Structure 1
């Protein structure tokens, strides 16, 4: 058995505490860098095209109820995953006078609701 003087005991206790703290910090760092939550993930989303407002609707149709009209060019609306779900059989639309038209719609999530946005009226990508 090894006996330490009071000074040696205090120093060894201090060293032990420092080692324990360093070990806990290392453990926290290791778990943070290997956890699935920290893996690089991204979400797809949509935003204004050429500065034009766009409307989020309750279904893929211009006659469906509006959830919101996005007027801020910096607003990004999430699609809900890494890709935007597309409905190619939605109602027909024209984005703006002289603008694109089609019947493709993107499924989005906004204000706690699921909605649809005319695909040719917005830009889509990583947000």
Structure 2
């Protein structure tokens, strides 16, 4: 898997630390983490792209019944990009969500995932 690396200015460590350490009082059991995430649904995997466009390189995939952290722990950043259809007969749209894994990030089609907290 290839991902775009976040600039190595110490910001990446701070972002990852805040992403994985954000705990909302009263919402999570002791010792668990709470962070913004995208979740696959309807039994479909979702491609992670280098940019918010279907013509951009596929840099990974979120397996069916799995989740990935959003780029920001406080919420999921979205932006307009190219149009897509999630799967044959499935939803379509043109908004994309920025996701992260460690020091790397990419984009997933917003209509193909559900946004929530993990």
Question: Residues 59-93 of structure 1, C-alpha deviation per residue, up to 9 Å, x if partnerless?
Answer: 100111112112241x2200031210010x20110
Structure 2 unaligned regions, length at least 5: 1-20, 26-33
| Cα RMSD for the two superposed structures | 1.9
Larger Rg: 1
What is the number of residues matched between the two proteins?
Answer: 89
Runs of 4+ in 1 over 4 A off after TM superposition: none
Q: Normalising to structure 2: TM-score of the pair?
A: 0.68
Q: 1:38 to 1:67 in 2, by over 3 A?
A: closer
Counterpart-to-counterpart distance in 2, 1:54 and 1:116: 10
Contact 2:36 2:76 in 1 (8 A): yes
Question: Is 1:52 aligned to residue 36 of structure 2?
Answer: no
Between the two structures, name the one with larger relative contact order (CA 8 Å, sep ≥ 6). Answer: 2
Matches within 5 A, 1:95-106: 95-106=86-97
Structure (1 or 2) with the greater strand fraction? 2
